Structure 1
Amino acid sequence: MGLAALAAIPLAAILPLPDFWITQLNYIGLYSLTCLGLVLLTGIAGLTSFGQAAFVGIGAYTTGWLTVNLGWSPWLTLPVGLAITAASALVLALVTLRMSGHYLPLATIAWGLSLYYLMGNLDALGKYDGILGLKSLSLFGADLGQGRGFFLLTWSLVAVMAVALLHLLDSRAGRAMRSLKSGALMAESVGISTFRYKVLIFVIAALLACLAGWLLAHFQRTVNPTAFGLKMGIEYLFMTVVGGVGHVWGAIAGAALTRLLEDQLQVLLPRLIGTSGSYEVIVFGIALVLMLKYQPDGLWDFVERRLPRPPRRNDWADAAALAAQPRPAAGDPVLEVHQLRKEFGGLVAVNDVGFQVRAAEIVGLIGPNGAGKTTTFHMISGVLPHTSGTVRFRGRPIGHLPSRQIARLGLARTFQHVKMIPDMTVLENAALGAHARGGKGVLAAMARLDRAEERTLFREAQRQLERVGMGSHLHELAGNLAMGQQRLLEIARALCADPALLLLDEPAAGLRHQEKRALAQVLRQLQAEGMTILLVEHDMDLVMEVCDRLVVMEFGTLLMEGTPREVRQSPAVRAAYLGTEH
């Protein structure tokens, strides 16, 4: 529906529309370009920025100064503006994207205000009067002016950018971007550099704003700071939220609705109230509060939920298989933990724990609540740094590596509290686990040059889902699954990484009896296929049934290690779980 509507918009250039409406559509197209960047930045990555108008200003002032003062062609100023924008966005991203919470929005506000006052106080930029006398754009000798010619150029760029973003979001890189809102823990565990993708998104959004600024400068034929201040930064975010901050088409819908309503309200409200003033701002404020209360995902989400969601076309049945890493021979040491220690200030959470996991065996890490099992898990997988000791994976020290690098070596994990992307399908969630096994980036995705690799990733995702009994749920939204199915989805996602060692953090938590039986069957099947598993679990029935050896912890120390039978018969273990009688 969105593509069809966008394809129909250029027809307005040949329809007998008044020039007023062509001008309105031109402004909507310019606003849409900036809002498309905010969909990626805020809706997909969850990063709130009020500084996009400043990047619009960089694009506008760059072309204004170069064309007026040096006589450059506007088409030559565009790559210069994009380069300056990319450099400034990269520096700003490296500084601000390490912030979290309210610090990032505050930093972008400071950035927008700084650039606004810089533009308004530099003599070279005309101070607050700005730069006058810009020429309109021309293409192949034809002056595009401010009417239908400019309309065709603007909306062609909007269409190209919208389709490019849709392609990006439906790709390996796009799935990585969509995982950012769920937090860094899960994304890093499948080999995604979350900071790198945040920087990429920030720069892409800035480049789209710069393109809008370049067009705006030659549309208005003048540049001044008014259009690039904090007020416009807030308005761009407002448009995107109203339209649907998580939807590409929401950017265009929000820009159109806001522009048209603002224009009409400026005429109607003074007539109703009997006096002039910026009353439309009050109306927009009330509308935004109501929108956030009753339709928080925006207008386009209301439309999309009523449209049929066709399943993805299965075109990967004959795709090439992903390359697999060599498996350790049965009995070879896969994980070696020696004198592992973790201190939080004066608290010793894990006290010189050591154990070994060999290939093709299932080892259970058990103990009462507070024994230090999850902390040990986090140190093995790179989520937490250890205070002292060593962790070796297949003979290689990994204690100093971040979790994404450990994941790329062949160590995959699940989580105590299920972590998945609810609005992605089961197939897409599983394919996220194979991220480190692909290599196509953002530009290849936008240009649709990644289709062969995508087919191999989906083939692997389907294979692993079928391996754990989830083959009939490929195209369901992950958020609609029952808890047991979500646990199996997490295991399938981990298996897509082609791990030599699988870490399962309380996989039976919250499962019903039949779901636990299905989980036990999956674990035995994986072991029979040569998978090595380290399991943290409180369900003793499951642990005793599937584990070859058990490592028992109490108060951060190693209590004992042995077979399930030896552990079951140990007085020390019974005392740890049940207490002793005085």
Structure 2
Amino acid sequence: MQRLGLLLFVALIAVIPLLPGLSVFWITLLDNIGLAALVAMGLVLLTGVGGLTSFGQAAFCGFGAYTSAVLTTKFGFNPWAALPVALAVTGLAAVVLGLVTVRLSGHFLPLGTIAWGISLYYLFGKIELLGRHDGISGVPPLSLFGWSLIEPQAVYYVIWGFVVLAAILTTNLLDSRAGRAIRALRGGRVAAEAFGIEPARVKLIVFVYAALLAGLSGWLYAHVQRAVNPTPFGINAGIEYLFMAVVGGAGQIWGAVVGASLVILLKDALQRIVPALFGTAAQYETIVFGVLLVAILQGARDGLWPRIVALFPKGAPAPVDRDAAPLPGRQKAKAEPLLAVTAARKTFGGLVAVNDVSFQVKRGEIVALIGPNGAGKSTTFNLITGVLPITAGDVVFAGRPIGGERPQAIAGLGIARSFQHVKLLPEMSVLDNVALGAHLRGQAGVMRGLFRLDRAEETRLIGEAARQIARVGLADHMHKPAGSLALGQQRIVEIARALCLDPDLLLLDEPAAGLRHLEKAALSELLRHLRSQGVSVLLVEHDMGFVMNLTDHIVVLDFGTKIAEGPPAAIKQNPAVLAAYLGAPE
């Protein structure tokens, strides 16, 4: 279905310039839409998919445009020979800016992009080599096989060829191991790191990729307009590009084309209609433009592309090969105990959250960590998985100290986890969410993803995810958005995702919360089966019936301090546990 849609789009693009009576004005407008769509497509990936808001993409257009303009007018470069240099300069600038920008979070991130967007605009206007605010004129047009592409109709196919190519490559990227890592950014740093993803590295990759698309657009702009000055690369243009990505549909690749078309056509129409209605004494176009965009977003908050797609029948999901060759198994740890927590301590200022807690988890054992709310159970989980640095004490896994390791390294050793508050990507399918858990068991990177050289590995990764989904009893929900499932089912999806890591130790934070009786029974059976296969389980749970009937050993915390540990039978009778947590009969 997607291939058919692409073919129809390419056919439409090819036919448009051949329509009788179509003026040069409309072809020029379509050229401008294509140039803007390239930048918006990068923002779809950066902002809509990766969750990184940028107002400065127009500046990257400037890097591409000015580099090519200087090389072709002052050093005699052929425009095509200037393209790789323009992209290299843009990419280098993106790396330098990205190393600073992607480390920001919250409102500081968009503010940072505004800051360097404004700075670069004024920088372009101050450099003598770039012609200051007058810019560079006489930029040569593109040529192909000796044919000058100086006319709008001639360059039209080059621009839209790049748009189609960028859309295909971006689609390929998102449908890959690297693409799932990019989408995982919206789930937050903690969740991404738990699967072995390096958020800072992935953010930088998507930042540079979006900048390269903007640089490509800038290179084309320079040779289409044949003159370059700072005006098109200011913060106002950056805001417009972001509007295009959001209006078209944040996270929707082809929404970039829809958004660019709408914004540019709307601006053009308003520049002709509004003065005719209100006269030219005051410029009301910008006001009307802003009001209309707000109205569109109110009516289609997810953008226009999802509304367009909903008009057509939904194709069947791609078949999943559950019989694909299994991924290489993890080398199982031999040391005993598998996990040893010794005098672990965590303080937040003067607050002692975990107070010299010690316990062990042996291979093939299910251990429960119980206690009242605020006892320090989830904090202990975070110390084991590297989410929080340990203040004092030791955490040793398979004979190796891991107290100071990063979460990605700890996941790589074979420790997988679920979360107290479910951390799934609700708009992604259950299958893609679970496949994130196998991230460390794959090797394919961005370049292999872009050119679909990762298909053999991808088949194995998706096959592994499908097998784990079937293993936990959710095969019928595989292709549904994870956010459409009930809370209890989402917790089971998290367990399937953790199992994709092929872990030695499984940390489950309240896995039975939200489950019905039969679902809890099925979960108990699954955990017993994992125990029989040598997988150790450490769980936090408040359902004492579930805990007492399942676990081999129980550790009880109260106010961050261990008050008891032992087999379930002993814990049931322990006076300190009865008084602090379980309650004693009158």
Q: Same fold (TM over 0.5)?
A: yes
* Alignment match of 1:489 (pick from 480, 490, 493): 493
Q: 1:358 to 1:309 in 2, by over 3 A?
A: farther
- Measure the CA separation in 2 of the matches of 1:153 and 1:384: 51
**Number of positions where the alignment pairs a residue of Structure 1 with one of Structure 2:** 581
Q: 1:47 to 1:178 in 2, by over 3 A?
A: same
1:445-494 residue CA offsets vs partner (Å, 9 max, x unmatched): 11011110011001111111111111222212211111221111110000
- Measure the CA separation in 1 of the matches of 2:120 and 2:395: 49
* Structure 1 stretch displaced more, 441-450 or 479-488: 479-488
Contact 1:336-1:355 within 8 A present in 2 as well: yes
Structure 2 equivalent of residue 459 of structure 1: 463
* Alignment match of 2:560 (pick from 550, 556, 561): 556
- Measure the CA separation in 1 of the matches of 2:283 and 2:52: 30
- Measure the CA separation in 2 of the matches of 1:289 and 1:62: 36
Structure 2 equivalent of residue 405 of structure 1: 409
Query: Which amino acid is the alignment partner of residue 348 of structure 2?
Result: F
Structure 1 equivalent of residue 129 of structure 2: 124
Q: CA deviation at 1:253?
A: 0.3
Structure 1 equivalent of residue 201 of structure 2: 196
1:160-213 residue CA offsets vs partner (Å, 9 max, x unmatched): 000111111111111111111121111110111111110001000000000000
Q: 1:180 to 1:527 in 2, by over 3 A?
A: same
Structure 2 equivalent of residue 351 of structure 1: 355
- Measure the CA separation in 2 of the matches of 1:502 and 1:489: 14
- Measure the CA separation in 2 of the matches of 1:457 and 1:55: 35
What pairs with 1:173-212 in structure 2 (closer than 5 Å)?
173-212=178-217
Q: 1:222 to 1:277 in 2, by over 3 A?
A: farther
RMSD: 1.6
Q: CA deviation at 1:346?
A: 0.8
Contact 1:130-1:225 within 8 A present in 2 as well: yes
Contact 1:311-1:475 within 8 A present in 2 as well: no
Structure 2 equivalent of residue 255 of structure 1: 260
Q: CA deviation at 1:579?
A: 6.5
Structure 2 equivalent of residue 332 of structure 1: 336
- Measure the CA separation in 2 of the matches of 1:566 and 1:213: 72
1:225 equivalent to 2:230? Answer yes
- Measure the CA separation in 1 of the matches of 2:138 and 2:277: 39
- Measure the CA separation in 2 of the matches of 1:549 and 1:82: 59
Q: Percent identity?
A: 56
Query: Which amino acid is the alignment partner of residue 218 of structure 2?
Result: G
Contact 2:488-2:513 within 8 A present in 1 as well: no
Q: CA deviation at 1:528?
A: 2.4
Contact 1:23-1:146 within 8 A present in 2 as well: no
1:531 equivalent to 2:535? Answer yes
SS for the counterpart of 1:333 is coil
SS for the counterpart of 1:484 is helix
Structure 2 equivalent of residue 503 of structure 1: 507
- Measure the CA separation in 2 of the matches of 1:146 and 1:403: 55
SS for the counterpart of 1:83 is helix
Contact 1:13-1:152 within 8 A present in 2 as well: no
1:90-129 residue CA offsets vs partner (Å, 9 max, x unmatched): 1111111111111111111111111111111222211111
Structure 2 equivalent of residue 447 of structure 1: 451
1:431 equivalent to 2:435? Answer yes
- Measure the CA separation in 2 of the matches of 1:426 and 1:570: 42
- Measure the CA separation in 2 of the matches of 1:239 and 1:464: 39
Structure 1 equivalent of residue 172 of structure 2: 167
* Structure 1 stretch displaced more, 563-572 or 4-13: 4-13
Structure 1 equivalent of residue 291 of structure 2: 286
Moved over 4 A (4+): 578-582
Structure 2 equivalent of residue 373 of structure 1: 377
1:537-572 residue CA offsets vs partner (Å, 9 max, x unmatched): 111110001100001111111111100000001111
- Measure the CA separation in 2 of the matches of 1:446 and 1:58: 23
* Alignment match of 1:321 (pick from 309, 326, 337): 326
When normalised by structure 1's length, the TM-score is 0.97
1:83 equivalent to 2:85? Answer no
Q: CA deviation at 1:277?
A: 4.4
* Alignment match of 1:96 (pick from 101, 105, 113): 101
1:577 equivalent to 2:581? Answer yes
Structure 1 equivalent of residue 388 of structure 2: 384
SS for the counterpart of 2:562 is strand
Contact 2:320-2:462 within 8 A present in 1 as well: no
1:275 equivalent to 2:284? Answer no
SS for the counterpart of 1:400 is coil
When normalised by structure 2's length, the TM-score is 0.96
- Measure the CA separation in 1 of the matches of 2:286 and 2:378: 51
- Measure the CA separation in 2 of the matches of 1:148 and 1:350: 70
Contact 2:322-2:467 within 8 A present in 1 as well: no
1:468 equivalent to 2:472? Answer yes
Contact 2:270-2:289 within 8 A present in 1 as well: no
1:17-65 residue CA offsets vs partner (Å, 9 max, x unmatched): 2211111111110000000000011100111111000000111111111
Structure 1 equivalent of residue 522 of structure 2: 518
Structure 2 equivalent of residue 342 of structure 1: 346
Q: CA deviation at 1:5?
A: 4.3
SS for the counterpart of 2:254 is helix
- Measure the CA separation in 1 of the matches of 2:23 and 2:423: 53
1:240-280 residue CA offsets vs partner (Å, 9 max, x unmatched): 11111210011000111111111111011111112354422
Contact 1:430-1:461 within 8 A present in 2 as well: yes
- Measure the CA separation in 2 of the matches of 1:377 and 1:456: 30
Query: Which amino acid is the alignment partner of residue 407 of structure 2?
Result: S
Structure 1 equivalent of residue 41 of structure 2: 36
* Structure 1 stretch displaced more, 37-46 or 522-531: 522-531
1:337-390 residue CA offsets vs partner (Å, 9 max, x unmatched): 111000110111111111110011100011111111111010001110010111
Q: 1:13 to 1:433 in 2, by over 3 A?
A: same
SS for the counterpart of 2:42 is helix
Q: CA deviation at 1:577?
A: 1.5
* Alignment match of 1:61 (pick from 53, 62, 66): 66
Query: Which amino acid is the alignment partner of residue 6 of structure 1?
Result: F
Contact 2:504-2:534 within 8 A present in 1 as well: no
Q: CA deviation at 1:402?
A: 1.2
Structure 1 equivalent of residue 26 of structure 2: 21
SS for the counterpart of 2:217 is helix
- Measure the CA separation in 2 of the matches of 1:195 and 1:569: 49
Query: Which amino acid is the alignment partner of residue 510 of structure 1?
Result: G
Contact 1:145-1:219 within 8 A present in 2 as well: yes
Q: CA deviation at 1:315?
A: 5.0
Q: CA deviation at 1:513?
A: 2.6
Q: CA deviation at 1:290?
A: 2.2
Structure 2 equivalent of residue 422 of structure 1: 426
Contact 2:489-2:515 within 8 A present in 1 as well: no
Q: 1:205 to 1:191 in 2, by over 3 A?
A: same
Q: 1:307 to 1:394 in 2, by over 3 A?
A: farther
1:116-166 residue CA offsets vs partner (Å, 9 max, x unmatched): 111112222111111011111001111111322211111010000001111
Query: Which amino acid is the alignment partner of residue 85 of structure 2?
Result: V
- Measure the CA separation in 2 of the matches of 1:528 and 1:23: 68
Q: CA deviation at 1:510?
A: 2.3
1:568 equivalent to 2:572? Answer yes
1:310 equivalent to 2:315? Answer yes
